């Protein structure tokens, strides 16, 4: 069996889900997406859990799509798997909190966008790098466009440039940005507050908050999955991805 890439633990009404795939910087491989989905299911089924926290092990929250998988075959299945994961986060009966530090890239920002509350380090770095690989942030736009201002989306989607946790809070992607050394204290206080909610109250309030977001996901799922698959299969994107992977090989 392959090594576990997502770790699950639960204590004091909080389920903690840790992304731990150092070999590809927590990229969204099929295995990681599957294990993350299973962890969310486990949290929802546990009556003792009222809040879910997604965090990472290591310096990268998530590097986006696993380009080694993307360069080797059709990505429509992968795109639909990511859509299902984003929808699972938004429809989970319990609030999902992202604790973000270090680097977040491309598809990893989709996880951030799907979460209900996001606390990021001021100096966390975000970048929607798809445009530089001949791609577009198609699938993750389903959860990013409803969160971000149109001007912020245009700047970040088209430029592919870095922006910080502070800037992510300013543009609506992140709920709050704090000093990295304060992240754990901030998350602990937030989870303690959320855990005071009655399960029915949390569930029904989250439904109210995410109703339009879920409708947006459902309406755009087929179109964005097809667009993502078409772009990943294009000669231009395949060439750019292979060049990127070659640059990352140890010399």
- Return d(Cα 124, Cα 163) in angstroms, integer: 8
Structural contact between residues 136 and 227, judged by C-beta atoms closer than 8 angstroms:
yes
Residue the block writes with tokens 């029904």:
204
**What do you get for the CA distance between the two ends of the chain, in Å?**
30
pTM of the model: 0.94
Residues 6+ apart with CB under 8 A from 241: 67, 70, 71, 133, 232
Domains in the chain (CATH in brackets) are 6-180 (3.90.226.10)
Spatial separation of the C-alpha atoms in residues 126 and 109, rounded to whole Å = 7
Per-residue tens of pLDDT for the chain, all 251 residues? 579 999 999 999 999 999 999 999 999 999 999 999 999 999 999 999 999 999 999 999 999 989 888 655 567 888 999 999 999 999 999 999 999 999 999 999 999 999 999 999 999 999 999 999 999 999 999 999 999 999 999 999 999 999 999 999 999 999 999 999 999 999 999 999 999 999 999 999 999 999 999 999 999 999 999 999 999 889 898 888 888 777 766 55
DSSP per-residue letters across the chain: -PPPSEEEEEETTEEEEEE--GGGTT-B-HHHHHHHHHHHHHHHH-TT--EEEEEESSSEEE--B-HHHHTTS--HHHHHHHHHHHHHHHH-SS-EEEEE-SEEETHHHHHHHHSSEEEEETT-EEE-GGGGGT---TTTHHHHTTTS-HHHHHHHHHH---EEHHHHHHTTS-SEEE-GGGHHHHHHHHHHHHTTS-HHHHHHHHHHHHHHHHHHHHHHHHHHHHHHHHHHHSHHHHHHHHHHHHHHS--
Exposure string (b/e) for 206-223, b if CB count within 10 Å is 16 or more?
A: beeebeebbebbeebbee
Mind telling me the catalytic residues?
130
Neighbours of 100 (CB within 10 A): 29
């Amino acid at each position: 069996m392959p090594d576990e890439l997502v770790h699950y633990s639960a204590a004091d009404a909080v389920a903690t889900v840790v992304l731990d795939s150092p070999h590809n910087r927590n990229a969204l491989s099929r295995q990681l997406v599957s294990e993350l989905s299973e962890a969310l299911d486990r949290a929802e089924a546990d009556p003792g859990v009222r809040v879910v926290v997604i965090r990472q092990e290591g310096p990268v929250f998530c590097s986006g799509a696993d380009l080694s998988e993307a360069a080797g075959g059709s990505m429509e299945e992968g795109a639909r798997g990511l859509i299902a994961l984003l929808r699972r986060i938004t429809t989970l009966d319990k609030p999902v909190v992202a604790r973000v530090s270090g680097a977040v890239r491309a598809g990893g920002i989709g996880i951030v966008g799907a979460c209900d509350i996001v606390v990021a380090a001021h100096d966390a770095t975000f970048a929607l790098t798809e445009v530089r690989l001949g791609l577009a942030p198609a699938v993750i736009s389903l959860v990013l466009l409803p969160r971000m201002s149109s001007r912020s989306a245009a700047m970040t989607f088209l430029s592919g440039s870095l922006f910080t946790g502070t800037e992510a809070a300013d543009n609506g992607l992140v709920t709050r940005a704090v000093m990295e050394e304060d992240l754990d204290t901030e998350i602990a206080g937030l989870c303690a507050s959320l855990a005071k909610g009655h399960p029915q109250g949390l569930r029904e309030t989250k439904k109210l908050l995410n109703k339009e977001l879920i409708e947006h996901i459902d309406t755009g799922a087929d179109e964005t999955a097809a667009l993502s698959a078409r772009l990943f299969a294009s000669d231009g994107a395949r060439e750019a991805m292979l060049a990127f992977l070659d640059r990352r090989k140890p010399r």
